Copies of this chain bind each other. A is one copy, B any other.
Amino acid sequence: MPPQPTADFLKAGTVFAALPATEILALAAVAREQSYPARDFIFREGDESAWFWLVRTGRVKILRQSRSGDEVVLELLGPGEPFGGVAVLEGRPYPASAQAMETSTVVGIPRAPIVALAARHPMLAREMALMLGRRLRTAHDSVKSLATDPVEARLASTLIRLAEGEGTHDPRGLVLPFRLTRQTLADMCGTTVETTIRVISRWIRKGIVIDEDGRLIVASLETLREIEDTGSL
């Protein structure tokens, strides 16, 4: 049983916040909550996009795979964040896979009610457009970083982004609210586990970051920023 009813959860998010109460209740009636253990896939690249999803609890990883089998992590999503939306509205298959990073529950809403709702309430499209604009910008940030920066700078900047966006304050620094393996970090930066491990280990030895049982704590955002700029320490 979720900590709060589905309707309240839908209303609390940014996506459906502006909808009238009756619409929210109608959505909640057709929504389905489901829980996934770590490493389970919610859907895979190429699957038919039958559901629109929202992260309820936990952490979901959006990724694509290449023939050679190595993964590229495109986005990390936390509670309240939607995914699969564009594919649903366009009626295309999902362009990427979604995988639970830790035990997570997600809310799924079937395609038909969402499409009908979007037709009735154009403000949904507006919210969608703004959100996509933001995500396009961060995607472009990634492109720029991958295209020009050396590995250590890329690792620094994704860690900065995560810490600033999702970190909670603590006497020791900014604490990331989820476990982030070196492998996942590597997949977000287009590098390998080994180099990521080498870099993070060096940072830990220098006290720039702290590894607390798999959870990273950014102790010196400033040093990371310097690394981001100069490409090394």
Contacts and interface: CB of A to CB of B under 8 A. Distances in A.
Interface of A: 64, 66-68, 70, 72, 74, 86, 89-90, 95-96, 118, 122-123, 125-126, 128-130, 132-133, 135-137, 139-140, 142-144, 146-149, 187, 189-190, 229
Contacts of A139: 136, 139-140, 142-143
A101 to B, nearest CB: 18
A133 to B, nearest CB: 4
Nearest to A139: B139
B148 A68 contact: yes
Contacts of A89: 129-130, 133
A118 B140 CA distance: 25
Contact of A90 (B96, B133, B189): B133
Contact of A86 (B70, B95, B136, B143): B136
Nearest to A73: B147
A133 B190 contact: no
12 contacts: A64-B140, A66-B149, A86-B129, A86-B133, A86-B136, A86-B137, A89-B130, A122-B122, A122-B123, A122-B125, A132-B132, A136-B139
Number of copies: 2
A143 B66 contact: no
Nearest to A135: B136
A139 B96 CA distance: 13
List the 6 shortest-distance A-B pairs measured between CB atoms, nearest first: A122-B122, A147-B190, A86-B133, A132-B132, A139-B139, A146-B146
Contacts of A90: 130, 133
A141 to B, nearest CB: 9
Contacts of A149: 66
